[in-house]
Amino acid sequence: MRNFKIVLQYEGTRYKGWQKQGGTNAGRREDAESSDSSFLETNAKEYTIQGKLERLLSRIAGEPVEIHGSGRTDAGVHAYGQVASFHMDTKLTAEALMEKINSYLPEDIAVISIEEVPDRFHARLGAKGKTYRYRVLNSSVPHIFERRYVWQVPEKLDVQAMCKAASYLEGTHDFKAFTSTKKGKKSTVRTIEAIEIVRCGDEIHFTFRGNGFLFHMVRILMGTLIETGKKNRRPEEMPAILESGLREIAGPLAPACGLALMEVSY
């Protein structure tokens, strides 16, 4: 069994996120043995990136293959640099395998690099940090061809106020107030190394770099920062929100369409 690391891109608009639904078993035997014309098809319950890739890899291998992503992305979230790994018994070179995978993938998913890695490499367990970007269209005029990739906020936004609010969120904190995760035993402490906010014409780009992010964390941070930009909140409120640990005190959940996973570091 050889271990492969892939970097892939996808437009998440029509998918239910990265993680497959239902059980955790790898691609089922019936998927591996179905016809070329139908083996990538799936029902509405499991229209996920992981699900599609596992069905494809299982077909190529002729046996179930399980793939591990660096982390989950929500339904509708995009990726420019998602990383995944899988073990496969194949005689194909990495380059030939990549070409075969891409020949079957739909036009909104693509593997952009592949390499054989040591057996112990695991895309999720080995990840040391991630970078996300969120795009806001700060204009009352819609951008028709960008509508799937931005959150349109027509109200004037104060970038300076949002930068000040972001400075309170950088560093190591308990981000319990900024996640939709139900109560559990897992730690909600994370480190945000930097939040960069830059206006690019009528767009504002928010870049988040950190050692890991909780469920919905970036999108709730975005909802909170946008409220600050609208002057519905003061930047100085951020420490109190963090201290409270209460989800209802933080801002709303920003739409998934503006968010993209840019890079995973190891």
What backbone phi and psi angles, to 5 degrees, belong to 262? -95, -40
d(CA 13, CA 137): 17
End-to-end CA distance of the chain: 22
Do the beta carbons of residue 229 and residue 160 sit within 8 Å? no
- How would you write 104-142 as a 3-class SS string? HCCCCEEEEEEEEECCCCCCCCCCCEEEEEEEEECCCCC
d(CA 248, CA 179): 10
* CA atoms in the 13 A half-sphere facing the CB of 27: 33
3-state class of 172 per DSSP? strand
- Catalytic residue numbers read 74
d(CA 253, CA 73): 15
Query: Smallest Cα–Cα separation from 98: which of 129, 57, 67, 126?
Result: 57
d(CA 42, CA 24): 16
